[in-house]
Amino acid sequence: MNKRKTTLLAATLSVALIGAFSWYQSAEADSSSNPGSTNDPIVTKSYVDKSIAEQVQIELQKQLAAGVGGGEASSSSKLEVVTVPLGSKIIVADGGELIVRTGKAIAYSADANGLSDMTDGIDIAPGKPIKTNHLILFPRGGRGVEADPKQAKGLIVLVRGGYQLQ
């Protein structure tokens, strides 16, 4: 009977040791998610600020590189007051916007397509008049506005985006 108890005790001890070893191994494997480990590094605020500033700088450079430059003006998001002399045209870049403030304006396009009057929700064909204080969208380049030759003065317009005076 003594031999039987010894065998039973040895088997129980073996199972306990194997269980303890397995628990230790799984606890050791989970320690990699502790803060400061290679899988979960601790970083400083200055490091995060620097990383974010670098990403913002990269995005700004991408946007500036993709922007369309204007002739005499810049392609900014601000509305810019521009005087268009009589006999000249203002050609607005892709996606640009324009509002005629003073003068009688006529739509200009190198092809048969016109301009988008966002105020009235209509298309303006080339050669047709543009109402003052209406927001005009230029979906593609090569389109613009010119002063009506029947008037004595040019135009004053507000432009957002790149443009060229011709």
Please state the domain extents for the chain. Answer: 2-66, 80-165
* Count of residues making up the chain: 166
pLDDT at 63 over 60: yes
Q: Does domain 80-165 have CATH number 2.60.120?
A: yes
Q: What is the pTM of this model?
A: 0.55
Percentage of residues in the chain with pLDDT exceeding 70? 81
Which pLDDT belongs to residue 106? 95
